[in-house]
Amino acid sequence: MSSSSTGGHLHEGPPDTKLDRHVIMVAGVVVLGAIMSILDVTVVAVAQNTFMTTFGTDAAGAAWTATGYTLALAAVIPISSWAAAKFGTKKVYLTSLVLFVAGSALCAMATSIGMLVAFRVVQGLGGGLLMPIGMMILTKAAGPERVGSVMAILGIPMLLGPIGGPILGGWLIEIASWHWVFLINVPIGVVAFIYAWFVLRDDAETSPAKIDVVGLLLLSPGLALFLYGISSSAEHRTFVHAGVLIPVAIGLVLIAAFIWHALRAERPLLDLRLFQNKTLTIAVITMTFFMIAFFGASLLYPQYFIGVRGESTLMAGLLLAPQGLGAMLTMPIAGQLTDKMGPGKFVLSGIVLIFVGLGAFMFLGADTSYWLICIALFIQGLGMGMTMMPIMSSALATLRNNKVPDGSTLLNVVQQSASSVGTAIISVILATLLTNRPDGGLAIASNADPEGYAKAVEAGAAPAQVPSSAFDAAAEAFSTTFIVSVVLIAITVIPAFFLPRKKIVSPLVEEDMDRVPTIMH
C-alpha cells in the first residue's frame, strides 16, 4: 500500500500488482539460471544407460552422476542466505553461474566415471545456489505485493524441468552424443552471465555477517547424509538396509542437533524462528506433501512409457507435453490472482484437479489409450499450475525484506528434501512390486535395457520372447504404485485447507496501516 500526506489528507491506492520492465528482465535472468539447474537433474537421468556403456560401469556407478549432483545441492543450499548477506546477491549469483558452467564443461570432458561424478559435484555446487539466490533476487525486485506473479514465472522451469529434461536429453543423445547433455549448458550459461551482469543491480549494502560455523558443520553434512541414505534406497530396493538406515540416522541426528543449536543461536545459518509465522509454517507443510507426491509420480511416467509401452526416451518426453501445457495455461493466472485473492482457493482447486488426473493412472493397463493418458496429464498440469507456486509465494509474501533470504533458503531445503523422499518412496515401492512379479520385471528390462536383456537371454536367464501377460503384470505394478501418489496428494488437502483464502497483507503494508492515524492527525 502506498500512502502520502498532502494538506492533511491521506491518499491511498490499491497496491500495484503489475510487473514493470525491470522486474520482468530480472525474472528472465533468474529463469535462465533455474532452467539450467533444474533441467540438469532430469537430463542426466536419461543418459544412465549411455554412461554404463561408455565408462564400463554398472547401474550403481552410473547413478552416482545423479547422486553426486544432488548431494552437492544439499550441501550448498544452507549457506545461500549467509552468502547473500555477506557478498550480495548479484556477486553470489554470478559466481554460481561460473561454477555451474565450468562444471558442465568439465563433465563433457570426463574420461572416466570417477571424473564425471567429481565434475558433477562441482556443477552441483553452482546449481545449488542458483535457485535460492534467484528467488531472493526476484522476490526483492518485485516486492511483497507482486510475489505471486513473479513466483509464477519462476515456477515454469520448476514444473517443466521434469518434463523437458527427458525430451532434451533423449534428443541430444540421439542426434549427437552424451557430451552435449552437458555442453548445452555452456552457451546458455554464457548468455545468462552477460544478461545478469547488466540487468541485476548491486545490493545497496551487505551486512558483515559471520558464518554460523557450528550450524554449517551440522546442517550441510546432515542434509547430505540424509539425502544420500534416502537415495540409496532405490539401489537397495528397500529402506531396511544398513546402507540406507545408517546414513539416514546419522543425518537426522545432525539435523536434530542443528535445530537445537539454531533455536539458541543469535544468528543461525538458517533461521528456524520463521516457523513462528503461521502462514509460512502451513505453506511449508503443504509444500512438503505436494513435492513428495509430485516428484514421486513424475518418476513413474517415463518409466511406464519406456518400460511397458516400448517408447523411445524422446517419445516418452513428448507424451508428457500435455502436463506442461496445462501448467503453462493456469500458472500465470493463478500467480496474479494469488496476489489479489490469496493462495487458499487456488491451491485447493489445484489439488483436486491433480487428484482427478492422477487418479486415472490407478487403472493403468499395458494398452491404455494414449488419448486418455494425455487428457489425464493435461488435467494434472492444470492443477500443478495452480498449486506449487501459490504455496511458495504464500510463504514469502508474509516475510519482511530482511527475512526473504532465510525464507528462500528454507523453502529450497524443504523442496530438495521432499523431492528426494518422494522419489525414493516411489522407487522402492515400484521395485518391490516388480520383484514380486518377475515376469513384469522381465518385460520392463526387455524395453528399457534391450542390450542387457539380450545378454540375459544368451545366459539363459530370460526367455527369448516376453509373453504379453508380462507387460500386463508390469502395468499392474505401475497402477498400484500410482495409488500411493494419489493418497499423498489427498493428504495434501489437509494443510492446504488452512492456507489464507484472502489477500495476504505483507508486514511492510501492515506497518503503513498502523501509521495511518498519525498521518491523518
Does this model's pTM top 0.85? no
**Grid cell for residue 291:** 513435492
| Closest residue by Cα to residue 124 from 154, 94, 104, 95 | 104
Residue whose C-alpha cell reads 489477500 in the numeric block = 503
17-21, 116-120, 248-252, 438-442: segment of lowest average pLDDT: 17-21
Q: How many CB atoms lie within 10 A of CB 461?
A: 10
| Closest residue by Cα to residue 466 from 481, 454, 480 | 454
| Closest residue by Cα to residue 151 from 328, 336, 324, 341 | 336
How high does pLDDT run on average in the chain?
81
Alpha-carbon distance of 291 to 187, in angstroms, equals: 31
Could you please report the per-residue DSSP string of 183-209?
HTHHHHHHHHHHHHHHHSPPPS----P
When pLDDT is averaged across residues 197-224 and rounded to a whole number, the result is 80
Alpha-carbon distance of 193 to 190, in angstroms, equals: 5
**Grid cell for residue 285:** 507443510
- Could you tell me the CATH superfamily of domain 16-204? MFS general substrate transporter like domains (1.20.1250.20)
| Closest residue by Cα to residue 373 from 355, 359, 387, 390 | 359
Q: CB burial class (10 A; 0-12, 13-18, 19+) of residue 25? A: middle
**Grid cell for residue 240:** 531396511
Q: State residue 479's pLDDT score.
A: 94
Under the banding of pLDDT at 50, 70 and 90, the label for residue 162 is low
CATH fold for the domain made of 290-521: Growth Hormone; Chain: A; (1.20.1250)
Beta bridge partners of 154: none
Q: Is pLDDT above 60 for 262?
A: yes
Q: State residue 36's pLDDT score.
A: 82
Tell me the angle at which helices 468-496 and 438-448 cross, rounded to the nearest 10 degrees: 90
Longest dimension (CA), the chain: 93
The SS3 assignment for 109 reads coil
Q: What one-letter code names the amino acid at 459?
A: A
**More confident of the two residues 425 and 358:** 358
Is 1 in contact with 509 (CB distance < 8 Å)? yes
Per the document, the length of the chain is 521
Alpha-carbon distance of 422 to 443, in angstroms, equals: 25
Alpha-carbon distance of 43 to 343, in angstroms, equals: 32
Q: Where are the domains of the chain?
A: 16-204, 212-268, 290-521
Q: Is 219 left (phi over 0), alpha (psi -120 to 50) or beta?
A: alpha
Q: State residue 512's pLDDT score.
A: 42
Q: How many CA atoms lie within 13 A of 411 on its CB side?
A: 30
| Closest residue by Cα to residue 163 from 329, 299, 288 | 299
Is 167 in contact with 314 (CB distance < 8 Å)? yes
Q: State residue 94's pLDDT score.
A: 94
Q: State residue 163's pLDDT score.
A: 67
| Closest residue by Cα to residue 125 from 158, 157, 77, 189 | 77
Is 444 in contact with 308 (CB distance < 8 Å)? yes
Q: What pLDDT, in 10s, does the model give residues 63-102?
A: 788 878 888 888 888 888 888 888 888 999 999 999 999 9
Q: CB burial class (10 A; 0-12, 13-18, 19+) of residue 395? A: buried
Alpha-carbon distance of 294 to 354, in angstroms, equals: 9
Q: What pLDDT, in 10s, does the model give residues 8-46?
A: 333 344 445 566 777 888 888 888 888 887 777 777 777
Q: Give the sign of the dihedral formed by CA 58, CA 60, CA 61, CA 65.
A: positive
Beta bridge partners of 12: 3
Q: Is pLDDT above 70 for 386?
A: yes
Could you please report the per-residue DSSP string of 74-107?
HHHGGGHHHHHHHH-HHHHHHHHHHHHHHHHHHH
Q: Is pLDDT above 70 for 508?
A: no
* Domain 16-204 identical in fold to domain 290-521: yes
Alpha-carbon distance of 143 to 397, in angstroms, equals: 8
